[in-house]
A and B are shown apart, each in its own frame.
Chain A
Amino acid sequence: MKRLPSTAASLEFHLEPWEGVMLAAVLSQYPCLPPAHQPLSRNGQGPDTLADQRLLDEALADQRRDNQRQLTRLLADTTRFRQSDKGWRLSLAPGDAEWVLQILNDIRVGSWAKLGSPDDLDELRGDQPNPDVGLMETAGYFQMRLLAGLRTPPDHPKR
């Protein structure tokens, strides 16, 4: 997955044939994290902690539904994700790149949570292949490629 010449309005990526197939397969696993995964507070302090926690859970659930809808649209939109002669082409608006990052991290952290949230990730890389380990590593691979693309300044400020 390599950044291609891009504009401020659209980040362009080339993906090798296997990368395009893998990216679609990884994104199809969203969401991976269980609902109500994240506490608002560790010590339960706040004027109305239970109500605040419920609001946060609802907001995150809404966010996930939106992400799922956007993801379905992205994968079906051939102007943004399409096969080319040499692989795949991915075109993302800057805002889209942020939510794809969020989705990839949900999949990475969700896979890790399914594995029991181990402190030592090296322990997971054993002899036996494990689909959750594979999913966690592959989501991480695409995250890092996307982050590298976001760090590179646009070739043309506006087109």
Chain B
Amino acid sequence: MLPGTIREAEEKPRSALEPGYLVICWNDPVNFMDYVTHVFQQVFHWPLQKARHHMLQVHQQGKSVLVRESLEKAEYYVHSLQKYTLHATMERDE
């Protein structure tokens, strides 16, 4: 690994590297349940059972916390979910 690469990683604020952000998917009446399950499988590479569990949480409880990740990864996941037009946000885990 190049020395510069190490230095760049060390200079990042600690909070950006810590898994302190929650990726949340919110319920809406328009996305099909099968579609939401499929998207979770595609984005997170989850097995069908886990994807379906989170889809049902969204449907029945209004939202589901999908993962707890670093800032960069959380942004990546929110962007990936929003490409599929799911209502996804990231919030800091207090």
Contacts and interface: CB of A to CB of B under 8 A. Distances in A.
B34 interface: yes
Interface in B61-91: 71, 75, 78-79, 82-85, 87-91
B13 A41 contact: no
B92 interface: yes
Nearest to A38: B82
A119 B79 CA distance: 24
B84 to A, nearest CB: 5
Contact of A143 (B15, B32, B42, B75): B32
B32 A60 contact: no
Range class of the A interface residue count: 20 to 34
A33 B29 contact: no
15 contacts: A40-B75, A41-B90, A41-B91, A46-B71, A47-B15, A56-B75, A60-B79, A98-B42, A101-B38, A108-B85, A109-B28, A109-B30, A109-B85, A140-B32, A147-B38
Given A39-B89, A143-B35, 11 more contacts: A38-B88, A42-B24, A42-B91, A46-B71, A60-B82, A106-B85, A109-B85, A121-B29, A136-B30, A144-B32, A144-B34
B29 A119 contact: yes
A147 to B, nearest CB: 6
- Chain B at the A interface: SS class: mixed
B76 to A, nearest CB: 10
A127 to B, nearest CB: 21
B29 A45 contact: no
Contacts of B84: 101-102, 105
Given A47-B16, A121-B30, A143-B35, A102 B85 contact: yes
B93 to A, nearest CB: 10
A3 to B, nearest CB: 15
Given A105-B35, A147-B38, A63 B89 contact: no
B42 A105 contact: no
A39 B24 CA distance: 12
Most buried by B among A43, A102, A105, A144: A105
Nearest to A98: B42
B26 to A, nearest CB: 8
